[in-house]
Amino acid sequence: MHFENNLAFAHALDQADPLNKFRNDFLIPKIDGKEIIYLCGNSLGLQPKNTRLFINEQLDNWENLAVEGWFEGDSPWMFYHKEMQKLMAPLVGALPSEVVPMNNLSVNLHLMMVSFYRPDQKKFKIIMEGGAFPSDQYIVESQVRFHGLNPDKVIIEINPRMGEETLRTEDILASIEEHSNELALIMFAGINYYTGQFFDMKSITEAGHKAGAYVGFDLAHAAGNVPMSLHDWNVDFACWCTYKYMNSSPGGISGVFIHEKHFENNELNRFAGWWGYDEKTRFKMAKGFIPQAGAEGWQLSCSPVLMMAAHKASLVLFEEAGGIENLRQKSINLTAYLEFILHEVNKKAGSELFKIITPSNYKERGAQLSIIAAKNGKQIFDKLVNQNIIGDWREPNVIRISPVPFYNTFEDVYKFGSVLENSII
């Protein structure tokens, strides 16, 4: 695509953008009455205007129906999650029965490992990406110790080659093959939080299954950002948070995917709770756990309805926008424009002041670009913040910038570039 580094050109792109109107469905933070440039949807998505409405509806139900709200009203709380399953499924390429909103991400990863990490004498190793999000590292380490094993002997981390920033698929696949005799589980990110690399989930899953391992993904940075086909790719399980690209409130409810091929497998361990019990007989309060069929059978506690309402408000917008494929189409262009603008800044400076470590192939990334400044990275970042440009800083030295197709504009990206140019120190 042809790009130009000027405001009129950015404006023209916004005017031609069929999704531009969705910006008006979000609350953009203001400072001194002026909208900030928010490029941090990778960390916390902005609040949809309808979130308050959806939550208020449930506050009204609570007020008027009280405990009867579980079974009465327009959308009884007992079945509220079922409406969401239908809305969540297309976002990750799943059947509605394969997804469910519950708990939070780290909790769900633990629950999934209870089911899908069953080490024995022969197969006990776990492959994950080096530099995974810290919570994921702690989860895997503590699960390994819980089984009485030594993390140093069990966890295989795959790292970039010397002098490279991201992983090569061929290296991931080679490592899976190398460890296949002892491999029990692959637990990878869909998109790495630090580099923004979108991994080849289909090939990783195929290779993992060939090695006789289960394959699960943490989709914190992929869900609501890129389309996926979890069902068709035959992924065993996946979990994601909904407060990043899914705009569903800080610490909002998490989503879980469990492939339907595992629904009838009684060999799988699971930590059970009453909300995973067969719906028809749940309130008989009988002894002996009988799971509800599908991902719902992994639920533990009764539904956190207010959090679900916040999530639903956002899911409805994804549907209105014509689905994740539509948003992705814009996202590819928006991030390509950001990449172009960064190259322009470097060109004017006469050197590669800002190195992009995210893959340049759009198929290997989502919305986010991760940038390393040649010098004074943190000072430059602080200067941007002072001028009301919000990205985020990740130790040791990366600035993450994520233009989100729902509410960011090409103008945002252009303005980011011109402020960045003036912030070089």
Residue type for position 306? L
SS3 51: helix
Kindly state the smallest distance separating residue 205's Cβ from ligand PLP, in Å.
18
Strand partners, 398: 394
Which of 133/318 has CB closer to ligand PLP?
A: 133
Kindly state the smallest distance separating residue 413's Cβ from ligand PLP, in Å.
23
Which of 136/364 has CB closer to ligand PLP?
A: 136
* Residue ranges binding ligand PLP (CB under 6 A): 104-106, 133, 135-136, 189, 193, 218, 220-221, 241
Which of 252/297 has CB closer to ligand PLP?
A: 252
**Sign of the Cα pseudo-torsion (17, 28, 220, 109, in order):** negative
Kindly state the smallest distance separating residue 108's Cβ from ligand PLP, in Å.
8
Which of 142/386 has CB closer to ligand PLP?
A: 142
Kindly state the smallest distance separating residue 39's Cβ from ligand PLP, in Å.
17
Kindly state the smallest distance separating residue 249's Cβ from ligand PLP, in Å.
12
For the chain, what is the total number of helices (H) and then of strands (E)?
Answer: 12, 17
Kindly state the smallest distance separating residue 254's Cβ from ligand PLP, in Å.
6
Kindly state the smallest distance separating residue 187's Cβ from ligand PLP, in Å.
10
Pairing state between β 389-390 and 155-158: unpaired
Q: How far apart are CA 275 and CA 285, in angstroms?
A: 11
Residue type for position 334? L
Kindly state the smallest distance separating residue 243's Cβ from ligand PLP, in Å.
7
Residue 408 Cα distances to 116, 310, 328, 358, 415, angstroms: 38, 21, 13, 20, 11
Which of 167/380 has CB closer to ligand PLP?
A: 167
Helix axes 134-146, 105-116, angle to 10 degrees: 40
Which of 225/331 has CB closer to ligand PLP?
A: 225
Q: What is the DSSP string of 264-302?
A: T-TTS-----GGGB-TTTGGG--SS--BPSSGGGG--S-
Q: Are 196 and 370 in contact (CB under 8 A)?
A: yes
Strand partners, 394: 398
363: tokens are 């198929």
Which of 258/380 has CB closer to ligand PLP?
A: 258
Q: Are 214 and 236 in contact (CB under 8 A)?
A: yes
Which of 219/420 has CB closer to ligand PLP?
A: 219
Rg of the chain (C-alpha set):
22
